[in-house]
Amino acid sequence: MFGAELVIVLLAIYLGARLGGIGIGFAGGLGVLVLTLIFQIKPGAIPFDVIEIIMAVIAAIAAMQVAGGMDYLVSLAERMLRRHPKYITFLAPLVTWFMTVLAGTGHTAFSTLPVITEVAKEQGIRPSRPLSIAVVASQIAITASPISAAVVFFAGILEPLGVSYLTLLAICIPVTLLAVMLTAIVCNFLGCELKDDPVYQERLAKGKSDCAAARYLSCSRTPNVPFCCF
Protein backbone atom coordinates (compact mmCIF):
# COMPACT_ATOMS: atom_id res chain seq x y z
CA MET A 1 0.00 0.00 0.00
CA PHE A 2 2.77 2.41 0.91
CA GLY A 3 4.52 1.68 -2.39
CA ALA A 4 1.40 2.52 -4.39
CA GLU A 5 0.89 5.76 -2.45
CA LEU A 6 4.52 6.71 -3.06
CA VAL A 7 4.06 6.09 -6.79
CA ILE A 8 1.03 8.40 -6.84
CA VAL A 9 2.99 11.16 -5.10
CA LEU A 10 5.92 10.80 -7.52
CA LEU A 11 3.59 10.80 -10.52
CA ALA A 12 1.90 13.97 -9.27
CA ILE A 13 5.30 15.65 -8.85
CA TYR A 14 6.36 14.54 -12.33
CA LEU A 15 3.10 15.76 -13.87
CA GLY A 16 3.43 19.12 -12.13
CA ALA A 17 7.02 19.48 -13.32
CA ARG A 18 5.93 18.75 -16.88
CA LEU A 19 3.02 21.19 -16.80
CA GLY A 20 4.81 23.99 -14.98
CA GLY A 21 3.26 27.22 -13.75
CA ILE A 22 -0.16 26.88 -12.18
CA GLY A 23 -0.21 23.28 -13.40
CA ILE A 24 1.99 22.39 -10.44
CA GLY A 25 -0.84 23.26 -8.07
CA PHE A 26 -3.42 21.35 -10.13
CA ALA A 27 -1.16 18.29 -10.25
CA GLY A 28 -0.76 18.42 -6.47
CA GLY A 29 -4.52 18.69 -6.03
CA LEU A 30 -5.03 15.73 -8.35
CA GLY A 31 -2.60 13.67 -6.30
CA VAL A 32 -4.44 14.57 -3.09
CA LEU A 33 -7.79 13.60 -4.65
CA VAL A 34 -6.45 10.21 -5.74
CA LEU A 35 -4.96 9.50 -2.32
CA THR A 36 -8.15 10.60 -0.56
CA LEU A 37 -10.83 9.01 -2.76
CA ILE A 38 -9.08 5.83 -3.87
CA PHE A 39 -6.72 5.02 -1.00
CA GLN A 40 -9.08 6.43 1.66
CA ILE A 41 -6.35 8.49 3.33
CA LYS A 42 -7.78 10.99 5.79
CA PRO A 43 -6.76 14.52 4.74
CA GLY A 44 -5.17 16.76 7.35
CA ALA A 45 -6.20 20.25 8.32
CA ILE A 46 -5.54 23.05 5.85
CA PRO A 47 -2.46 25.02 7.05
CA PHE A 48 -4.09 28.45 6.94
CA ASP A 49 -1.25 30.04 8.93
CA VAL A 50 1.31 28.92 6.36
CA ILE A 51 -0.88 30.04 3.45
CA GLU A 52 -1.41 33.47 5.00
CA ILE A 53 2.33 33.90 5.62
CA ILE A 54 3.14 32.97 2.03
CA MET A 55 0.52 35.44 0.74
CA ALA A 56 1.86 38.20 2.98
CA VAL A 57 5.48 37.62 1.95
CA ILE A 58 4.59 37.52 -1.76
CA ALA A 59 2.55 40.72 -1.48
CA ALA A 60 5.34 42.51 0.39
CA ILE A 61 8.03 41.43 -2.10
CA ALA A 62 5.82 42.37 -5.05
CA ALA A 63 5.23 45.82 -3.57
CA MET A 64 8.95 46.24 -2.93
CA GLN A 65 9.70 45.20 -6.51
CA VAL A 66 7.28 47.75 -7.96
CA ALA A 67 8.65 50.47 -5.66
CA GLY A 68 12.20 49.79 -6.85
CA GLY A 69 13.31 48.14 -3.64
CA MET A 70 14.72 45.04 -5.29
CA ASP A 71 16.90 47.09 -7.62
CA TYR A 72 18.16 49.13 -4.69
CA LEU A 73 18.84 45.97 -2.70
CA VAL A 74 20.86 44.52 -5.57
CA SER A 75 22.82 47.77 -5.88
CA LEU A 76 23.72 47.56 -2.19
CA ALA A 77 24.84 43.96 -2.65
CA GLU A 78 26.90 44.97 -5.69
CA ARG A 79 28.55 47.76 -3.73
CA MET A 80 29.55 45.39 -0.94
CA LEU A 81 30.89 42.75 -3.33
CA ARG A 82 32.91 45.27 -5.33
CA ARG A 83 34.35 46.80 -2.19
CA HIS A 84 36.02 43.51 -1.25
CA PRO A 85 36.21 41.54 -4.52
CA LYS A 86 38.98 39.19 -3.36
CA TYR A 87 36.62 37.67 -0.81
CA ILE A 88 33.77 37.10 -3.25
CA THR A 89 33.57 33.40 -2.37
CA PHE A 90 32.75 34.29 1.23
CA LEU A 91 30.80 37.52 0.74
CA ALA A 92 28.48 36.18 -1.97
CA PRO A 93 26.88 33.46 0.21
CA LEU A 94 26.79 35.88 3.13
CA VAL A 95 24.84 38.41 1.05
CA THR A 96 22.35 35.87 -0.32
CA TRP A 97 21.92 34.31 3.14
CA PHE A 98 20.99 37.67 4.68
CA MET A 99 18.68 38.54 1.79
CA THR A 100 16.73 35.32 2.27
CA VAL A 101 16.62 35.64 6.06
CA LEU A 102 15.23 39.16 5.81
CA ALA A 103 12.81 38.48 2.93
CA GLY A 104 11.63 34.98 3.83
CA THR A 105 12.19 33.62 0.31
CA GLY A 106 15.24 32.61 -1.68
CA HIS A 107 14.03 34.19 -4.92
CA THR A 108 15.31 37.61 -3.89
CA ALA A 109 18.90 36.38 -4.13
CA PHE A 110 18.69 35.44 -7.81
CA SER A 111 19.06 39.07 -8.89
CA THR A 112 22.58 39.15 -7.43
CA LEU A 113 23.89 36.19 -9.44
CA PRO A 114 24.98 38.28 -12.49
CA VAL A 115 26.87 40.61 -10.16
CA ILE A 116 28.61 37.70 -8.45
CA THR A 117 29.64 36.30 -11.83
CA GLU A 118 31.08 39.59 -13.03
CA VAL A 119 33.03 40.33 -9.84
CA ALA A 120 34.45 36.80 -9.78
CA LYS A 121 35.63 37.04 -13.38
CA GLU A 122 37.22 40.42 -12.76
CA GLN A 123 39.29 38.83 -9.99
CA GLY A 124 40.19 35.74 -12.00
CA ILE A 125 38.13 33.53 -9.67
CA ARG A 126 36.05 30.69 -11.04
CA PRO A 127 32.44 31.95 -10.94
CA SER A 128 31.28 28.44 -10.03
CA ARG A 129 32.86 28.82 -6.59
CA PRO A 130 30.84 31.79 -5.28
CA LEU A 131 27.78 30.97 -7.39
CA SER A 132 27.40 27.41 -6.11
CA ILE A 133 27.56 28.31 -2.44
CA ALA A 134 25.57 31.54 -2.92
CA VAL A 135 22.61 29.64 -4.37
CA VAL A 136 22.79 27.03 -1.61
CA ALA A 137 23.01 29.76 1.04
CA SER A 138 19.93 31.50 -0.36
CA GLN A 139 17.89 28.32 0.05
CA ILE A 140 19.22 27.00 3.35
CA ALA A 141 18.56 30.41 4.89
CA ILE A 142 14.83 29.73 4.50
CA THR A 143 15.10 27.50 7.57
CA ALA A 144 16.55 30.45 9.52
CA SER A 145 14.18 33.19 8.39
CA PRO A 146 11.72 34.33 11.07
CA ILE A 147 9.09 35.15 8.42
CA SER A 148 9.42 32.09 6.19
CA ALA A 149 6.46 29.73 5.99
CA ALA A 150 8.75 26.73 6.52
CA VAL A 151 9.96 27.99 9.91
CA VAL A 152 6.48 28.90 11.12
CA PHE A 153 5.06 25.55 10.02
CA PHE A 154 7.91 23.60 11.62
CA ALA A 155 7.62 25.66 14.80
CA GLY A 156 3.98 24.63 15.00
CA ILE A 157 5.02 20.98 14.82
CA LEU A 158 7.71 21.36 17.49
CA GLU A 159 5.63 23.48 19.88
CA PRO A 160 3.81 20.46 21.42
CA LEU A 161 7.22 18.84 21.95
CA GLY A 162 8.43 21.72 24.09
CA VAL A 163 10.51 23.53 21.46
CA SER A 164 9.41 27.15 21.12
CA TYR A 165 9.59 29.39 18.06
CA LEU A 166 12.44 31.46 19.52
CA THR A 167 14.38 28.34 20.48
CA LEU A 168 14.09 27.05 16.93
CA LEU A 169 15.43 30.33 15.53
CA ALA A 170 18.20 30.47 18.13
CA ILE A 171 19.42 27.13 16.80
CA CYS A 172 18.77 27.49 13.07
CA ILE A 173 20.22 30.98 12.55
CA PRO A 174 23.77 30.34 13.83
CA VAL A 175 23.87 26.76 12.55
CA THR A 176 22.91 27.65 8.98
CA LEU A 177 25.28 30.63 8.91
CA LEU A 178 28.15 28.51 10.21
CA ALA A 179 27.38 25.77 7.67
CA VAL A 180 27.37 28.29 4.83
CA MET A 181 30.73 29.77 5.85
CA LEU A 182 32.35 26.35 6.28
CA THR A 183 31.07 25.27 2.87
CA ALA A 184 32.42 28.50 1.37
CA ILE A 185 35.88 27.54 2.62
CA VAL A 186 35.58 24.21 0.83
CA CYS A 187 34.26 25.83 -2.36
CA ASN A 188 37.20 28.23 -2.34
CA PHE A 189 39.47 25.32 -3.30
CA LEU A 190 37.27 23.74 -5.98
CA GLY A 191 38.54 23.80 -9.56
CA CYS A 192 41.50 25.65 -11.00
CA GLU A 193 41.89 29.39 -11.41
CA LEU A 194 40.54 30.98 -14.58
CA LYS A 195 44.06 31.81 -15.76
CA ASP A 196 44.85 28.08 -15.64
CA ASP A 197 41.63 26.96 -17.34
CA PRO A 198 42.34 26.27 -21.04
CA VAL A 199 38.66 26.22 -22.00
CA TYR A 200 38.00 29.62 -20.44
CA GLN A 201 41.17 31.10 -21.93
CA GLU A 202 40.12 29.85 -25.36
CA ARG A 203 36.66 31.40 -25.02
CA LEU A 204 38.22 34.61 -23.70
CA ALA A 205 40.51 34.81 -26.72
CA LYS A 206 37.50 34.43 -29.02
CA GLY A 207 35.54 37.10 -27.14
CA LYS A 208 32.86 34.66 -25.99
CA SER A 209 33.23 35.19 -22.25
CA ASP A 210 31.93 38.71 -21.76
CA CYS A 211 29.88 39.14 -18.60
CA ALA A 212 26.92 41.45 -18.99
CA ALA A 213 26.20 42.03 -15.33
CA ALA A 214 27.19 45.69 -15.51
CA ARG A 215 24.67 46.27 -18.28
CA TYR A 216 22.13 44.19 -16.39
CA LEU A 217 22.16 46.60 -13.46
CA SER A 218 20.54 49.81 -14.58
CA CYS A 219 19.19 50.80 -11.19
CA SER A 220 20.10 53.82 -9.17
CA ARG A 221 22.33 53.55 -6.15
CA THR A 222 19.95 55.70 -4.13
CA PRO A 223 16.41 54.68 -3.15
CA ASN A 224 13.62 56.42 -5.01
CA VAL A 225 10.56 58.07 -3.51
CA PRO A 226 8.17 55.07 -3.85
CA PHE A 227 10.71 52.82 -2.13
CA CYS A 228 11.14 55.26 0.76
CA CYS A 229 7.35 55.42 1.13
CA PHE A 230 7.22 51.63 1.14
Q: What is the pLDDT of residues 92-133, one digit of tens each?
A: 999 999 989 988 888 878 888 888 988 888 887 888 889 999
For the chain, give every domain's residue range. 1-44, 47-229
Q: Is the pTM of this model over 0.85?
A: no
Residues 6+ apart with CB under 8 A from 67: 224, 226, 227, 229, 230
Which tens digit of pLDDT belongs to each residue from 160-184? Answer: 888 888 999 999 999 999 999 999 9
Say what the pLDDT of residue 153 is.
81
**Cα 135 to the center of its chain, rounded Å:** 6
Q: Cα 182–186–187 angle (5° rounding)? A: 110
Rounded to the nearest 5 percent, the helix, strand and coil shares of the chain are 75, 0, 25
Mean pLDDT of 60-76: 81
Which tens digit of pLDDT belongs to each residue from 74-100? Answer: 888 888 888 888 889 999 999 999 989
The number of C-alpha atoms within 13 Å of 55 and in the hemisphere containing its C-beta is 6
| Rounded distance between C-alpha atoms, residue 209 and residue 198, angstroms | 13
